[in-house]
Chain A
Amino acid sequence: MNWKAFLAMLARDVRVARRNFIPLLLQTFLQPLIFVFIFGRVMVGSGYMPAQYKSLLVPGILAISMFASGIWAVAMPLIAEFQISREIEDRLLAPMKISWVAVEKVVFGALQALASGVVVIPASWILLRPGVEFSLHRPLVFAAVALLVALFSASAGLVIGCTIEPPQTGLLFSLIISPMVFFGCAYYPWHALDAFPILQKAVLVNPLVYASEGLRAALVPQFPHLPLSIAFAGLIAFDALLFTAGLRQFQKKAVN
């Protein structure tokens, strides 16, 4: 393994992200934080939502932000560099197995997803306080769930970035991202679907469910949530599945 080349590519991605810091910030955080403000602050403040909804919302918003951030960081550059400009060619010609270029993309995407988590937690706490109750009483569990969520987001970005053709980018949001977010138990706990048994089972194919519920179990265990073991199993399974599928797709795209 050529770590020098791998780290140089990571440094290249960090340089580009730093250069685009402000647009990146707006693109990743604006929407979730507006959601936090409207549902957690306005709706709760006006009495349409119970006060405890504030705390319930935080893990879901964290999951969505990390998910969006990981996907953006990996899928968008790949769609452009692979399919439009072929800019990735220089990195594919670096003295390293080409699958490591994909691994680097996933590592960078996961780092960006984790960074977005680090920003969203205090930002939503500031927006929602007083009355928001979450605790990091099990920091290792939280860190493990967050890491798996970050890897799942970046791996999903790898699959999307190597599959979606540039003209279909618009469909990505309406057909993939939006349904995943709304059926991902981010704005409500999975148990809220008890009244909709078919839907409750159907949403289990959505990896974001395990992300939201896992973060809920780690941050606000006072609310109903899927058992941690199930959340971990779901996240590990989807991480492995998406990463393997993404890697295959990447190799197919990279070599003619």
Chain B
Amino acid sequence: MGVGIRTLDLRKTYLSSPVSPPAGDGVGTAPVQPKRRKVKTEIVALDGISLEIQPGEIFGLLGPNGAGKSTTVGIFTTRIKPSSGHVWVGEHDVWAEQVAVKRLIGVVAQRPNLDSSLTAREILVFHGAYFGLNSHERTKRAALLLDRFKLSDRANQMVRGFSGGMLQRLSIARAMMHDPQVLFLDEPSSGLDPQTRLLLWEIVREYNDSGKTVLLTTHNMEEADALCQRLAIIDHGRVIALGTPTELKASVPGGFILRLRFGHHSPSLVEQLKGLRGVRKVNAAQNSADVYADRGGSLLSEIANLASAAGVALSDAHISEPSLENLFLHHTGRGLRE
């Protein structure tokens, strides 16, 4: 029986000192401060996250950098204390029953944090020992994982000289060493070459096939699409969409998004755009418009003709095919990488 994760209104705020304005900045406009006092700014990293991750599913947290994905994983894995709210891994409250939770989970951090004083094999063997595996078990399992992650030939070397991809593979092997019920992977494929990424996906699927739960964070839509059974899209510490990749993609009106930029704003042109065949929705701003439609390239020439007839210059156009990126754009008005 797999282990699920449940969160209830999870919030995390950090206190941070304000950044000093650069010298000479804002002459005459800076507010007069009677006394120099350090006022801490509250930064909201998570703003009420409630999720239910089913036992045995591969669940993805998708969002841009700084959206709150790593903070969420940090709280799930006992490493960050939430400001309020609750998380349960299986039946255990993460903050109140840390030891029980740590037994159930394996964690791959965003940045490799392997023990640089040990060899690759020792890293796995000692990790197994921390989790109480006996000498025979841990030696056998370490050899198996080194082989599976194609690291056997470097097993007895210190990890200092390892490439980024090798460090990442070893980090994942280490997290799997004690056969955890829930595997957390924070940006697992960042910095991996395509071949290693495929190996990683294969291993994650295989792991999941044995009934284990996997939670991964990514800002790579291809990965989220290919690997995750369900996704939560996170932005500014909030879940803005939740569902299977197919459901989520279908929730974007039409599927295609054409991002247009014009020489100047023309309300009549926007009205005409709405009347084009296949157009579901138009979000117009000052001199730009996002056109949601069920077709892409074929619509562009019609838009160019309308703009030309209206005397408006079409200065830029970008077509996005149905994707999670479009979904993100649909919900936030921003691309994932913006």
Residues of A in contact with B (beta carbons under 8 Å apart): 2, 4-5, 8-9, 11-12, 15-16, 19-20, 85-87, 89-98, 255-256
Q: Is the CB of B131 within 8 A of A5?
A: yes
B88-108 interface with A by 8 A CB criterion: 98-100, 102-103, 105, 107
Q: Which residues of chain B are near A20, meaning CB under 8 Å?
A: 117
Interface residues of B (CB under 8 A from A): 74, 77-81, 98-100, 102-103, 105, 107, 109, 111, 113-118, 122-123, 126-127, 129-132, 174
A5 → B minimal CB distance (Å): 5
- B118–A92 contact, CB under 8 A? no
For the complex of A and B, list the 7 residue pairs with the smallest distance between their C-beta atoms, beginning with the closest.
A8-B129, A94-B130, A16-B117, A86-B113, A256-B80, A95-B103, A4-B132
Is the Cβ of A89 less than 8 Å from the Cβ of B109? yes
21 A–B contacts, CB within 8 A, in A order: A2-B99, A4-B130, A5-B130, A12-B115, A12-B126, A85-B113, A86-B109, A86-B113, A89-B107, A89-B113, A90-B123, A90-B127, A90-B130, A93-B105, A94-B130, A98-B98, A255-B79, A255-B80, A256-B74, A256-B80, A256-B81
Tell whether, in the assembled complex, residue B98 and residue A94 are in contact, meaning their CB atoms are under 8 Å apart. no
Query: Cα distance A96–B131 when bound, in Å?
Result: 9
The interface residues of chain B lying within 8 Å CB-to-CB of A90 are 113-115, 123, 127, 130, 174
Q: Is there an interface contact between B99 and A96, defined as CB atoms closer than 8 Å?
A: yes
A8-B126, A16-B117, A95-B103 known; A2 vs B79 contact (CB < 8 Å):
no
CB distance from A56 to the nearest CB of B (A): 39
Let me know if B98 and A92 touch, CB within 8 A.
Answer: no
Please tell me if the beta carbons of A95 and B131 are within 8 angstroms of each other in the complex: yes
**What residues of chain A lie closer than 8 Å to B81, measured between beta carbons?**
255-256
Q: Are B79 and A94 in contact (CB under 8 A)?
A: no
CB pair A94–B131 under 8 Å, yes or no, is yes
- Closest chain-B Cβ to A160's Cβ sits at a distance in Å of 20
| One of B79, B115, B131 near A256 (C-beta < 8 A) | B79
| Complex Cα–Cα for A184 and B107 (A) | 45
Closest A-chain residue to B75, C-beta based? A256
Cα distance, A2 to B103, chains bound together (Å): 11
Q: A5-B131, A8-B126 are in contact. Are A85 and B102 (CB under 8 A)?
A: no
Contact across chains for A85 and B116 when beta carbons are under 8 A apart? yes
Q: Determine if B113 and A95 form an interchain contact, defined as CB atoms under 8 angstroms apart.
A: no
- B177: nearest chain-A partner, CB-CB: A90
Would A19 and B174 count as touching, CB distance under 8 A?
A: no
Pairwise interchain contact A2-B132, C-beta atoms closer than 8 A: yes
Q: Contact between A93 and B126 (Cβ–Cβ < 8 Å)?
A: no
Question: Which residues of B sit under 8 angstroms from A4, Cβ to Cβ?
Answer: 129-130, 132
Q: Which of A8, A9, A12, A97 is the one whose CB lies under 8 Å from B99?
A: A97
Picked from A11, A93, A95, A256, the residue with its CB within 8 Å of the CB of B107 is A93
* Nearest A-chain residue to B128, judged by Cβ: A8
Query: Which residues of the partner chain B approach A19 to less than 8 Å between Cβ atoms?
Result: 117
Residues of chain B within 8 A (CB-CB) of A256 are: 74, 79-81
Q: Which B residues are CB-close (under 8 A) to A11?
A: 126, 129
Chain A positions within 8 Å of B123 at CB level? 90
Given A4-B132, A90-B174, A95-B131, verify A12-B118 contact (CB < 8 Å).
yes
* B103: A residues at CB distance < 8 A: 95
Assembly CA distance A143 to B307 (angstroms): 91
Query: With contacts A15-B122, A87-B113, A93-B107 known, what are 4 further pairs, Cβ within 8 A?
Result: A85-B116, A87-B116, A95-B100, A95-B131
Closest CB in chain B relative to A118 CB, distance in Å = 24
User: Within the complex, what minimum Cβ distance (angstroms) separates A1 from chain B?
Assistant: 10
**Cα(A92)–Cα(B127), bound, Å:** 11
Contacting pair B130 A95 (CB below 8 A): yes
CB proximity of A192 to chain B, nearest CB, Å: 42
For the complex, give the distance between the alpha carbons of A12 and B119 in Å. 11
In the complex, what residue of chain A is closest to B111 when comparing beta carbons? A86
A255-B74 Cα distance, complex, nearest whole Å:
10
A179 to B140, CA, bound (A): 51
CB neighbours (8 Å) of B126 from chain A are 8, 11-12, 15
- Known contacts: A11-B129, A93-B77, A94-B130. The answer to whether A87 contacts B115 by CB under 8 A is yes
Q: How far is the CB of B117 from chain A (nearest CB, A)?
A: 4
Check B122–A91 contact: CB distance below 8 A: no
Residue ID in chain B nearest A11 by CB atoms: B129
Which A residues are in CB contact (< 8 Å) with B102? 93-96
Closest to B138 in A: A8
Least Cβ–Cβ distance between B276 and chain A, in angstroms: 51
Nearest chain A residue, comparing its CB with the CB of B106? A93
Shortest CB-to-CB span from B229 to chain A, Å, is 25
Q: How far is the CB of B141 from chain A (nearest CB, A)?
A: 15
Closest to B178 in A: A95
Contacts of B105 in A (CB 8 A): 93
Q: Given the complex of chains A and B, what is the CA–CA distance between A97 and B100 in angstroms?
A: 10
Q: Which residues of B contact A94 (CB under 8 A)?
A: 102, 130-131
Q: Is the CB of A15 within 8 A of B118?
A: yes
B186 CB to nearest A CB, Å: 11
Q: Give the interface centre of A16, A92, A95 by most chain B CB atoms within 10 Å.
A: A95
The minimal Cβ–Cβ distance linking B142 to chain A, given in whole angstroms, is 14
For B131, the chain A residues whose CB sits under 8 A away are 5, 94-95
Please measure, in the bound complex, the distance between the C-alpha atom of A95 and the C-alpha atom of B102, giving whole angstroms. 5
Q: Tell me the bound Cα distance from A11 to B107 in angstroms.
A: 22
* Chain B residue at minimal CB-CB distance from A7: B129
CA A9 – CA B125 in complex, angstroms? 11
* Chain A residues whose C-beta falls within 8 Å of the C-beta of B100 in the assembled complex: 95
Closest to B100 in A: A95
